[in-house]
Amino acid sequence: MIAYDAKTGKQLWKSKAVDYKEGHAMTGAPLVANDVVMTGIAGEYGRRGFIDGWDPETNKQLWRRYTIAAQGGKGGDTWPGDTAMKGGASAWLTGAYEPDLDLVYWGTGNGGPWNAEARKGDNLYVESVLAFRPKTGELVWHYQFSPNDPFDYDATEVGMLIGMDIGGAKRKVLAQANRNGFFYVLDRTNGKLLATNPCMKVKWADKIDMATGLPVESEVFKRIRAGGDEEVFPPVLGGKNWQPMSCNPTTKLAYANTLNISWPYQLAKPEYKKGEWDLGINFRSVTLPKNEPHGYLSAINPMTGKSKWQMAWPGQPSMAGTLSTGRGLVFTGASTGEVIAVDADTGKKLWQFQTGAGIIGLPVTWERNGKQYVSIVSGGGGVWALIGDERMAQTPASGSLWTFAIQ
Report, in angstroms and rounded to the nearest whole number, the Rg of the chain calculated over CA atoms. 21
How many Cβ atoms are within 10 Å of 204's Cβ, its own excluded?
22
In angstroms, the CA 151 to CA 180 distance is: 8
- Mention every residue, 6+ apart, whose C-beta is less than 8 A from residue 182: 145, 196, 197, 198, 199, 202, 205, 208, 215, 305
Euclidean distance between the first and final Cα of the chain, in Å?
40
Q: Which residues contact 261 (CB under 8 A, 6 or more apart)?
A: 234, 235, 237, 286, 287, 288, 289, 294, 295, 317
DSSP assignment, residue 262?
A: B
Distance of alpha carbon 180 from alpha carbon 196, whole angstroms: 12
Q: Which of 52, 152, 154, 278 is catalytic?
A: 152
User: Would residue 19 show up in a list of annotated catalytic residues for this protein?
Assistant: no
Q: What Cα–Cα distance (Å) separates residue 360 from each residue in 54, 85, 128, 351?
A: 30, 33, 24, 18
| Strand pairing report for 96-98 and 128-132 | unpaired
DSSP structural state of residue 216 = E
Q: Which strands sit side by side in the sheet containing 128-132, from one edge to the other?
A: 96-98, 103-107, 128-132, 139-144
Residues 6+ apart with CB under 8 A from 370: none
Answer whether 323's CB lies under 8 Å from 365's CB. Answer: yes
Give me the residues paired with residue 231 across strands: 264
Cα 12 to Cα 34, 54, 58, 366: the distances in Å are 20, 14, 9, 28
Are 96 and 105 contacting, i.e. CB atoms less than 8 angstroms apart?
yes
Q: Element (H or E) spanning 247, and its range?
A: strand 246-248
Q: Would you name the residues annotated as active-site residues?
A: 152
